[in-house]
Amino acid sequence: MTPDGEEVGDQITILLIEPNPGDTRLFTEPFKDAKLKNKLYTISDGDAALDFVNQRGEYAAKPRPDLILLEPKLPGKSGMDVLSELNNEPALREIPVVALTSSERGEDIVKSHGFDADQYVQKPVEAEDFVNFVQEIEDLWFAIVQEPSTEE
């Protein structure tokens, strides 16, 4: 149980790495309104994101995320740099990373630059679509967790 009485197994920790304050707000407001049990943290640049996942500096007491939502275009270290460091570190490699794209072609564009995330999700354009987007992220998490392991 967490200090506020919630069962740890029932919640996931999501790290949103998004430099656009408007998009961050559009994501976090429906998340709060939906009263989801999951814990959401937001970071706006690649350097802070790496500090967060590595639990360094001001993020030393923060939990390691269960799921990362990553905008490829970041100030500081790029999304590509963040993803590369995650993939090169055994303790972090298992965290699913969802690349947030801004268009239908976004997945092709980021893949063409060698950005190899676990999943790709197009960010909504309209504010009211962010509620569905938040639900899509939750559904995606459950799909990732329930995927049977191919290693035996």
pLDDT tens digits, 86-126: 988 998 988 988 888 776 665 555 565 566 677 777 777 66
Considering the entire predicted model, what is its pTM?
Answer: 0.76
* Residue from 87, 93, 75, 135 nearest 114 by CA: 87
Query: Which structural domains are found in the chain, ordered by start?
Result: 13-143 (3.40.50.2300)
User: What's the average model confidence in pLDDT over 69-76?
Assistant: 89
pLDDT tens digits, 32-72: 666 556 788 999 999 999 999 999 999 999 999 998 999 88
Separation between Cα atoms, residue 10 and residue 23, nearest integer Å: 26
Q: Running DSSP on this structure, what letter comes out for residue 138? A: H
Tell me how far CA of residue 86 lies from CA of 3, 59, 92, 116, in angstroms: 29, 16, 5, 11
